[in-house]
Amino acid sequence: MASKKRKYDAEYIKYGFVAIEKNGVEVPQCVVCFDTLSNDALRPTRLQRHLHHRHPELSKKPVEYFCAKRDSLSQMRLDKKGKYNQETAKAVKVSYEIAMLIAKNKKPHTIGENLVKPCIVNAVKILLGDDIAKQFKNISLSDSTVKRRIDELADDIKQQVLEKVKCSPFFAISCDESTDQANCAQLIVYARFIANNTIEEELLFSEPLKTTTKGADVFQAVSQFFEVNGLMWEKLVGVCTDGAPAMLGSRSGFVKMVKSKNPSIFAMHCVIHRQALVAKTLPDDLREDLNFAVEVVNYVKSSALNTRLFAALCESLNADHMVLLYHTEVRWLSKGNMLGRIYELREAVAEFLEQRGRRTMCRAFKSEHFQFSLAYLADIFEALNSLNLKLQGANANVMAHYDIVQSFIAKISLCDKCLCEDLKRKIKGHLRGLQDEFFHYFPDVEPQNLIYKLVRNPFLVNVEDLPHDLQEEAIELQFNNLAKDSFESMPLENFWVKLQAEYPKISSQSLRILVPFSSTYLCETGFSALMTLNTQHRNRLNVESDLRCTLSPTPPRIDNIVANKHCQYSH
């Protein structure tokens, strides 16, 4: 039978003893001779015996004497309860906190020693004096230290994320690759899973693809990460990618290879990429008008002189804007923004062209035909931009995105019906072409699957239409008034997560629809952060740790990291 573990009492200081930790157990230490006794000696008789036999000349000393000895010993102690260790631990914790802020704000590691630390020391020196400022000089913020700190913080976040993914009954991933400043292909993979009574999204990993960016390369990187970290393909329920052949190829695409591991996986082509493809639909006559608008903008902005003259003209006309916007094909919102701005400044543009002697271009620009087309293009691309922005954002599921797309298609249909028959045929043709393209790229936008109806509102679905294995739970749920109140008061995803224990079959079916990603939006935000981190001056930086600290909403457990370190001051 194990012996009883005794605890130190503050009263024992009158015998000249304090407590220290030894092999995880409290033991008494004499403040006079520094000897340590066993845990069993933590009782008054044993401690008093040591004082009388080893230090008889001190047995009559008041308790204040031993308190002074204790304070002196505390200055010298190197265990975790010692003053030295506690002070260094605080300095190390501050170092971690600042390193985390540096990573979160995507700043160079050298900023800690070159800017942050001097600012802190100088501010404290002015406000509180030199003596206190000296303590802040002990904070280690060299670039190598900041790098190590960020690596440790990122590793802690990664372990937390992996624990949550493994505990989730199933999870989904979203992945995409892009090229950074160093011409290196970078793969970013996000995970969506059930944790903390809701559905969470986290960066799973980022990794450079050293050679090609084929589907096999992406699959190898993902497969290796799964194997090393113990993630199961059987739990993967969804994969979302862009429409690149490397991802969606029918023979050697990434999705095809993933399905070889788990055929039941739900594969999703990013809804934002699909919407951008639809937006490219234009009949030839409208495309000519769009190209002419781009030509006009390029002329107005063709030189610094033209830009200044146009700005001065806009100012004299009290226009709301002073400059036109360039059109960039790779930026999805660029076309709509450019058209909206040139339409708002159409009078200034016409006058500028006339002043610069571009009479042919000016006549074409001012023509009724072009002005009509420009007004329509500005309106329709503003609507498409609005749709694109609605599809962006985190924490969105397939059903929410399909609702947005279906609403837009209905608006197009309404506009088509409201147009007069004698209105320009090209507009009616374009609207109908848009509808056709939406149905082509979103063939499943109107899912008639009963499970979708069940997920949206389990209290309205006809139970007899459901699969037999779900009918019993569906009946119980429809007569559960508490569940009905929860359905009306909480988000749909949280509602189904809450019902997992009580209604496992029906909630599992619902969550398999709600958990998968519907867009690669988070990957795109990751690439934006990557471009900020991996600049021309930092293109050799290994960004994985910085990227995880920047993008992850999970806070690192800094206190745990510091507690497991042997803390030392900066030199």
* Tens-digit pLDDT profile for residues 47-90: 999 998 888 888 888 989 999 888 877 766 645 555 545 667 88
pLDDT digit string, tens, across residues 109-151: 999 999 999 999 999 999 998 888 888 888 889 999 999 999 9
Q: Show Cβ contacts of residue 506 under 8 Å, excluding neighbours closer than 6 positions.
A: 454, 458, 470, 473, 474, 477, 499
Show me where the domains of the chain are located: 10-77, 278-441, 450-514
pLDDT digit string, tens, across residues 441-473: 888 766 567 788 899 999 999 999 899 999 999
Interval 172-182 mean pLDDT: 86
Question: What distance in Å separates the CA atoms of residue 308 and residue 325, rounded to the nearest whole number?
Answer: 14
Interval 401-412 mean pLDDT: 89
537: helix, strand or coil: coil
Q: 215, 257 in Cβ contact below 8 A?
A: yes
Question: What distance in Å separates the CA atoms of residue 181 and residue 357, rounded to the nearest whole number?
Answer: 42
Q: What is the pLDDT of residue 314?
A: 86
| Strands annotated E in 479-537 | none
pLDDT digit string, tens, across residues 389-404: 999 988 888 988 988 9
Interval 244-249 mean pLDDT: 73
**Tokens for 81?**
């309860």
pTM across the whole model? 0.81
> What residue type is assigned to position 62 of the chain?
P
Distances (CA, A) of 444 to 413, 441, 447, 511: 18, 9, 6, 19
Interval 511-539 mean pLDDT: 87
**Tokens for 300?**
């107005």
250 confidence band (pLDDT: 50, 70, 90): low
Q: What is the pLDDT of residue 283?
A: 86
DSSP string, 20-66: EEETTEEEEEETTT--B--GGG-SHHHHHHHHHHH-GGGTT--HHHH
**What φ, ψ does residue 184 adopt, rounded to 5°?**
-105, 130
**DSSP-assigned letter for residue 6:** P
